Chains A and B, each alone.
Chain A
């Protein structure tokens, strides 16, 4: 794993000291809120509906046991005993007190963590495939590039006041688990004639104007990564619409300028700045790559696994849904579901965090990942150890066998926490999960991604959910719009609205009608909801959602 060098350490400590002084000055009245707000946002501190919220970066979603334990310590000491893992692979604490935040940041710095650039119009935490370094279909580990980008973008003087926030995601596999097509810059590692490089996508994004990223370069050589990204961001920095917040993201810049013209400008800028990158970045990349080399795998005989798999139906069900093949046959990737039906998606208690840290330390080469789907991953576990891992997860209520199924729902904080929300998301997710638990239909329905956002900003990725749910405020009442057919993978697609929204107490029955219709019309158990939707289109689902209207139309 990447370890801070002296520079990183000094930089983070200095930021903690600066922010401590700023908080002090805010409390004693020498800074006004207008002066303080941009400073606190630069350090990930928001003010929400009921309290402050601190967003802590988990760069490319990777952390070790010690870091996870420290998150547990923070949850216990300064918060209400839990933390919320988010779609941007961060963790948010919902109840910190202003005076405690400097100490929290200092505790984070003790384990090489921080909240820098988790807010504001800067380059945000760079995200990556949560199976990085472990996936069977991986061309190369995306994290060294994500770390290089993080070092380049942190406090980059040219990019602290961009027109708007800027998000980069990197994937190293053929299957996209990092939603790269919904990012300002999406990078996919590819190989051409034996040479490694990137397919570069620009201008993807969700929010009020969802757009799928477009290819700016089919093949960018590895060594050109930083100058090319710098060219993209600097062209955007000049062209981006600072006059209108809703048109300020690069997706709008690309749309308004045209892909061809903006690509030309990027290439022109690139050729100007390329010579300034003399190779220091590549030396650095070399060092970073060493830090991400594979663990010293210990080969283990998997008899214990086979016995448990053949005899313990609970274990078998969990393996079948939550365990993924690893690049090594005697190892596996474990997805720990933070979605036990009825619980808040993405919320883990301090006790659960400690348990996950212990599992990583005992069985997982001290590695954990946060997925954008708000789950926690143990990327390398010997198959022989899976029964013990499963037993330990059961002890702390983390053994839900539902990864990729209907109850594995993404939900943003919504109006239970977020000041921008127009409706709640969390209880909708809880109720859907519980309802289908009761119906015992999850396995019948099979792979399904439901994603819920509490407002048009789309932090819950609803646009790319197979079923997307968007909470709105319709004349002072919560109302939920459904979209179908979204997809966040390499076949990315934006979902289509079904029609009028549903009231809070109608949304779960609506989802139930939708899925019963799917079970009726699918061509076989192998046809997933998304495939069925692509085959039959919207109409049969509309008929199920709006039965009254059908009758009126037919009359």
Chain B
């Protein structure tokens, strides 16, 4: 049996800065994951991924990452994706410093 689809967000890195960004429902790229579009349907996810891959002048390496609905919006389910919302653990660099 095929695995049940789990909710996803579309994420990538910005071409110029290289930092992690997420795709919003209104086709923007945000540096704040909670603003991302949480996709509950597999066909929609493929559609949104294709859209993201078409934005090669803005982002690099778009992919679908698992996510779940949180109080303020989508949240990561895997530690790798959680690090991407914050930055490295050895210095207060990256997103955790910008907040």
Which A residues have a C-beta under 8 Å from some C-beta of B? 26-27, 29, 32-33, 47-52, 80, 94-99, 344, 347, 415-417, 421, 424, 426-427, 430, 473, 476-478
Contacts and interface: CB of A to CB of B under 8 A. Distances in A.
B93 interface: yes
A430 B90 contact: yes
Contact of A27 (B13, B15, B84, B94): B15
B69 interface: no
Contact of A33 (B56, B78, B84, B89): B56
Interface in B48-80: 56-57, 60-61, 77-80
B2 interface: no
B18 A52 contact: yes
A49 B78 contact: no
B17 A416 contact: no
A49 to B, nearest CB: 6
Interface string B1-20: 00000000000010111111
B75 to A, nearest CB: 14
A94 B60 CA distance: 17
Contacts, number: 73
Given A344-B90, A416-B89, A47 B61 contact: yes
Name the prevailing secondary structure of the B interface residues: loop
Given A29-B57, A33-B61, A478 B79 contact: yes
B10 to A, nearest CB: 16
B59 to A, nearest CB: 9
Given A416-B90, A417-B88, A99 B16 contact: yes
17 contacts: A27-B16, A32-B56, A33-B56, A49-B83, A49-B84, A50-B18, A50-B84, A50-B95, A51-B18, A51-B94, A99-B16, A344-B90, A415-B79, A415-B83, A416-B89, A473-B80, A476-B79
B57 A424 contact: no
B8 to A, nearest CB: 15
Nearest to A424: B89
Of the candidates B16, B18, B57, B84, the one having the most CB atoms from chain A within 10 angstroms of its own CB is B18
Nearest to B58: A29
A76 to B, nearest CB: 15
A234 B88 CA distance: 41
B77 A97 contact: no
A48 B83 CA distance: 12
Contacts of B13: 47, 51
Given A49-B20, A51-B13, 5 more contacts: A94-B93, A95-B93, A417-B88, A421-B80, A426-B89
Contacts of A476: 77-79
Contacts of B61: 33, 47
Contacts of B90: 344, 347, 416, 426-427, 430
